[in-house]
Structure 1
Amino acid sequence: MAVQDQKLIIRMEGLNKLWALKSRLEIPLANVRGVTADPGVIKEPKGIRAPGAHLPGVITAGTFYSEGERIFWDVRDASKAVVIELRDDRYARLVIQVDDPRATIDLIEAALPPDTDR
């Protein structure tokens, strides 16, 4: 995950590209409402998979529709999951596994433009 040109760049690696049917997401930082570490998110209902993969306890990757929202998942290890809340974007949320959740949250929060609506 990186921040570049006022965008959050998320790259899927290895077989996750295949399961998620994506290799990269680019999200304008202005669309990011917030980011949190949430290992418990993996227990939430995923909704309808379209397209993607969900093998409980193994991987959740791809696009899922739940309660009228489009959510992108790329998680194998729930203890390393971060949830990125979005607005005015294709996805309502991104649930992504990262190496260091705290460092990722700090990176994103430091890059966010000032906004009183967060």
Structure 2
Amino acid sequence: MATVRIDGDTLVVEIEGLDKLWALKSRLDIPLANVRGATADPGVAREPKGIRTAGTHFPNYVTAGAFRVDGEKIFWDVHDPRKAVVIQLADERYARLIIEVDDPRATVALVERSVRR
């Protein structure tokens, strides 16, 4: 699971618990200028994960870390697809962040509000 917050002009994603180990990351800092938007998307877990470049993938349990699909690098941290949020990025290391959060609607609203400033 991850928590998302806004710190000034930066989107901060904190990876929690053992997911730090599985994802090989503890935090992502993304300039808000590079955030295009966010959606709650439980169906995203059915998408092909692509090639794992760093991290862990145990089907039906956890997908965490960096994966490459169709030339795009995607960061995953999802156990429960019902709580998945997709954050679209531009001009960043990752094209998308696909993360599990405690409250998908609140996270999407936070990101969308911050991007629209």
Q: Kindly, what percent of the aligned residue pairs are identical?
A: 61
Distance (Å, rounded) in 2 between the aligned partners of 1:68 and 1:91: 11
Query: For 1:18, which of 2, 18, 21 is the aligned residue?
Result: 21
Unmatched 5+ residue regions in structure 1? none
How far apart are 1:5 and its partner, in Å?
1.6
One of 105, 110, 117 as aligned partner of 2:108: 105
The letter of the residue matching 1:75 is V
In structure 2, how many angstroms separate the alpha carbons of the residues matched to 1:47 and 1:32?
23
Structure 1 residue aligned with 2:5: 2
Cα RMSD after superposing both structures:
0.8
Shift of 1:113: 4.3
C-alpha deviations, 1:46-95, integer Å up to 9, x for none?
00001110111100000000000000000000000000011011100000
Q: Does 1:69 align with 2:75?
A: no
Residue 36 of structure 1 pairs with residue 66 of structure 2: no
1:60 aligns to 2:63 (yes or no) = yes
Distance 2:116 2:45 in 1: 29
Q: Does 1:47 align with 2:60?
A: no
In the alignment, is the contact (CA less than 8 A) between 1:75 and 1:96 conserved in 2?
Answer: yes
**SS of equivalent to 1:71:** strand
CA distance in 1: counterparts of 2:94 and 2:75, whole angstroms: 7
Provide the rounded CA distance (Å) in 2 between the counterparts of 1:100 and 1:113: 20
Q: TM-score normalized by structure 2?
A: 0.95
TM-score by length of 1: 0.94
Q: How many pairs does the alignment contain?
A: 114
Unaligned 5+ runs, structure 2: none
Q: Which runs of 4+ in 1 moved over 3 A?
A: none
Q: In 2, Cα distance between the equivalents of 1:28 and 1:97? A: 20
CA contact (8 A) 1:51 1:64 kept: yes
